[in-house]
Every structure is written in C-alpha cells, then in structure tokens.
Amino acid sequence: MNILVINCGSSSLKYQVINSDTEQCIAKGLCERIGIDGSQITYAPAGGEKEVTVTPMPDHTEAIRLVLDALTNAKTGVVKSLDEIGAVGHRVVHGGEKFAASTIITDEVMKAIEECNDLAPLHNPANIIGINACKKLMPGTPMVAVFDTAFHQTMPEEAYMYGLPYEYYKKYKIRRYGFHGTSHSYVSKRAAEVLGKKYEDLKIVVCHLGNGASISAVKNGKCVDTSMGLTPLEGLIMGTRSGDIDPAIMEFIAHKENKSIDEIMTVLNKQSGVLGLSDNLSSDFRDLEAGHNNGDANATRTLKTFCYRVAKYIGAYVAAMNGVDVICFTAGVGENAALVRSMVCEYLGYLGVTIDSAANGKRGEDIAISTPESKTTVMVIPTNEELAIARETVRLV
C-alpha cells in the first residue's frame, strides 16, 4: 500500500509517499509560502529529477491539490491515480492528554484535536487545516493522526508535573508533554533492533539534536521523561530556542529592554539558542564547527555550552532510570556533527563510555560509535519520522 505522509505547517507543507511493503519513499517534496506571494512546490520522485514550480497557492487545499497533481502526473508521477494511495498519515503536533497513541481521524477526533489548539496555537491549527484540505480532495481515503506528544504520555506524574499551583494543571492542563515523540519512539526501537536486544529490556537515552532539540529517557520500552515541556521551548539549547532558563530572566529583560511578553517570547524562540549565544554567528552547527576550528571564541563557547547541557540531561536521565544501556544520537546535528557527539561523550567517563573515533566519523547509517569494551553503548541512529508515521498509518488502517 502507498501511504501519503503530510506534515503541515502554517505556511508550508512537507509530504512523502511511502510504499509500506518495501518501506521505501517513492516521492517527496515541499510546498512553501502557502498563502504568501511567491509560493512554490518542490517535487522529487525517487530516482528522478527534482522539480521546483513557482505557482500561486492561496491556501492549503490548493497546495495539496498541487501535490496530488504532481503525484499522478502522466509523465513524472509515481502513481496512476489517487486510488493507488491507500491512506494518509498526518503529523499532529499536540495531542494533549487525550491522545496517548495514533488514531484514525473521525469527526470526534477532529474535535478533540481542536480542543488542544490552546496548547499549541502555532502548530495545531495548521495541522487541522492540512487534514481538512486532504479530506476535501480525498474523501474516501482513510486518514490517521500521529501525535508528537503521544509517545511521552507514559511519563509518570513526578516527571510531568511542574512546581506550580496545582489549580493550573486542573484548569488548563499545564504540565510537561514533550515533543519529537515519533522520532524518540522510532530511534529507541531501532536501536534495540540493531543491537538484537529486546526493547522491553533496555534503558535508552535518545538525544534528538536538530534545529529543535530534545532528549528522552526510555525505560523498558516506555518514555519516562523528556526535556521539552508544555511547549518545545524547554530543555536543551536549540538552534534559536533558549531551552531552560531562570524564568525571572523574562521579567528582568522586560524591564531593562522595555519589552512585552510577546516580544520576550520572540527573543526566547527565535533569537536565542546557539544563534543568540554565538552572538549571531549562526544557528547552523556546520558554521559553529568551522568557527571553532578557526579559533572563533563565539563558536567555541556556544558548542561547549550546548554540549554541556546535553551531557547534564543525560546524567539526569541516567538517574531517572537508575542506569543506562544505550545512548542514541539522532537528527541533523546528532547524525552529522561528530565533534558534538565526541564533546558530549567526554562527559560520560563515569558511564564507562569509550568512543571509536573511526566509527564516529561515519555518516548515514545505524551504527555503534562506542568501542566493544565501552560499558554503555553509544549509537547514531538516523531518524525517519515519515516512515514511523507511515507504519502507524498502516497499523491502524
């Protein structure tokens, strides 16, 4: 069966078609600047030429119409008709406490997703628009929602509660939810598979280090803690997000710089992280690595602070699980930045970690980068959220 996987943002839409028998991606692409001047669609069939077409996309329905046209195009399409697409899997960012697993989309499910809009006002409304657009154009095709938060719903109360008045939890469901769940789930399972061990027997720390970054503790096949919170702002230092800070800093900056709460949130989400910490050198770790190698103090300070935070969270999660068997690195930085991995692992001597530098230099494969003697196994597992969404979709339809 072919599964169309949709990841819909407010002005962009990423898509992939995955054949569930071979688990290969047969086409993928991206619609950008939806509802804005200069919108364009990128379409890349597997083994074919990538096409970029600039064309008006006033809304998401038009964007999805263009995607479906590209997929069924007589010359360059990968399916003859839409009948060859058996189901659609939608990434949905926030499932609140309502969704601890993926689900077939029904009218009640749509209502429940809408009820989570308050918790992710930038993301969930866009996800809902994408689902509605698909429903309009593919009315008979089953659709599945796969939530970024679902994998983390197994966290115990002591891991998800904040030290705030309990009434805010009762009134507004303010608690830790965590994100990147599809990736944490995929990577932790894949690590067990690659090692030939039972998932349910392992204590795994997954470091998802991309432009957004989060870390999770997976004990006996269940997430027991994760670093992102009510929103994706908490935890690690990210590309442009601050991660953990003293909340009183917000009031301090507000007074000194005469900024509103909204303006401070923009600073914390868009101007902080490694971008801000490097004095605006870059949010891209390729630039930071190059800077560090050229003796740039901004780059070195940023990499050291980023890696220290990751190492500190690993320590916290080893404590939470009373031990660790496997530490996994994934996502853009985790999969590609050998320097970041080695700087993080320098803190892990107490876990008996020793790194094989030749293995750490490799790229693009599921691989152990620790030596056979290392007491804790350290791995790189490339994440594949689209495949995980396609698998969930097949399982449910």
Catalytic residue ranges: 148
Among 2, 153, 185, 336, binds ligand AMP (CB under 6 A): 336
Please give the Cα distance from 158 to 13 (Å, whole number). 36
The residue (of 45 and 210) whose beta carbon lies closer to ligand AMP is 210
5-13, 124-132, 214-222, 329-337 -> range binding ligand AMP (CB under 6 A): 329-337
The reply on whether position 332 binds ligand AMP by CB under 6 A is: yes
- CA atoms of 302 and 243, how far apart (whole Å): 13
State whether the Cα torsion 194-200-204-207 is positive or negative: positive
Tell me whether residue 333 or residue 388 sits nearer to ligand AMP (CB atom): 333
Nearer to ligand AMP, 214 or 370 (CB): 214
Long-range contacts, 82-85 (Cβ 8 Å, 24+)? 82/138, 82/141, 84/2, 85/2, 85/3, 85/4, 85/17, 85/138, 85/141
Least distance (Å) from ligand AMP to the CB of residue 334?
8
239 binds ligand AMP (CB under 6 A): yes
- Count residues contacting ligand AMP (CB under 6 A)? 12
* Overall size of the chain counted in residues: 397
Q: How far apart are the first and last CA of the chain?
A: 11
Kindly compute the dihedral angle of the four CA atoms of residues 387, 391, 393, 394, in this order, to the nearest 10 degrees: 130
Residue type, 35: G
- In the numeric block, the tokens 């197994």 are attached to 154
Using CB under 6 A as the binding rule, the residues of this chain from 195 to 234 that contact ligand AMP are 210-211
User: What residue is closest to ligand AMP based on CB?
Assistant: 332
Among positions 257-296, residues that touch ligand AMP (CB under 6 A) are 284-286, 289
The residue (of 213 and 390) whose beta carbon lies closer to ligand AMP is 213
Q: Does 186 bind ligand AMP (CB under 6 A)?
A: no
Residues that bind ligand AMP (CB under 6 A): 210-211, 239, 284-286, 289, 331-333, 336-337
